[in-house]
């Protein structure tokens, strides 16, 4: 009953639109700051690796190993991915286009930042993004998803039917 309410109620869709735009603005403003300032993730990554040591580590050893072996050597790529990922997630959430995918990518980045020992607003954003993910289509009802997703579904359905017919004919 509660899931039906969150996933289908139009008033909830309005509340979710507000949450979506709020989170989107946070991602977009953070990403634009990084893109325009020339973000370099290597300092952040090194700080997170350092947080795995000492008496009270803030970063788990397995995550620090990933950062040291994968992220730090690829810091240039991670810098671009983080900066532009934030811009794209923010833009998609504000516009309400591919909302669920954008929310999933956003929550993934939030967890990466939390794993790296940064709290800031990430925990709050994880909680709010969770509601967007649970709501499914309703989170993008008052956004571009309202038109884009049905259009794409119609296109893929026609494409699938067309290919299924051709495969059957080709086999016969």
Q: What is the pLDDT of residues 66-123, one digit of tens each?
A: 999 999 999 999 999 999 999 999 999 999 999 999 999 999 999 999 999 998 899 9
pLDDT of residue 171: 47
- pLDDT band with cut points at 50, 70 and 90 for residue 167: low
Confidence of residue 1 (pLDDT cuts 50, 70, 90): confident
pLDDT confidence of residue 164: 66
Query: Is residue 21 within 8 Å of 139, Cβ to Cβ?
Result: no
Q: What is the pTM of this model?
A: 0.88
Average pLDDT of the chain is: 92
How far is residue 28 from each of residues 33, 34, 65, 68, 134, measured CA to CA in Å? 8, 10, 29, 28, 22
CA distance 48 to 52: 7
Q: For 14-64, write each residue's pLDDT tens digit.
A: 999 999 999 999 999 999 999 999 999 999 999 999 999 989 999 999 999
pLDDT(157) > 90: no
What pLDDT score does 166 carry?
A: 56
User: Helices marked H in the chain — which ranges?
Assistant: 2-8, 10-37, 42-50, 61-66, 75-95, 99-115, 122-135, 145-171
| pLDDT mean over 133-157 | 92
């Amino acid at each position: 009953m509660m899931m039906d309410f969150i996933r289908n109620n139009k008033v909830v869709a309005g509340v979710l639109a507000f949450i979506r735009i709020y989170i989107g603005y946070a991602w977009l403003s953070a990403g634009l700051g990084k893109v325009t300032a020339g973000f370099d993730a290597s300092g952040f990554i090194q700080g997170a690796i350092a947080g795995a040591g000492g008496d009270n580590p803030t970063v788990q050893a397995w995550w620090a190993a990933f950062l040291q072996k994968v992220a730090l050597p690829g810091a240039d790529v991670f810098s671009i991915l983080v900066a532009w990922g934030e811009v794209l997630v923010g833009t998609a959430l504000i516009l309400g286009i591919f909302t669920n995918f954008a929310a999933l990518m956003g929550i993934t980045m939030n967890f990466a930042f939390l794993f790296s020992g940064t709290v800031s607003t990430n925990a709050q954003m994880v909680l709010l993004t969770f509601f967007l993910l649970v709501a499914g289509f309703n989170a993008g009802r008052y956004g571009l998803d309202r038109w884009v997703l049905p259009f794409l579904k119609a296109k893929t359905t026609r494409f699938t039917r067309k290919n299924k017919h051709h495969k059957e004919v080709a086999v016969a």
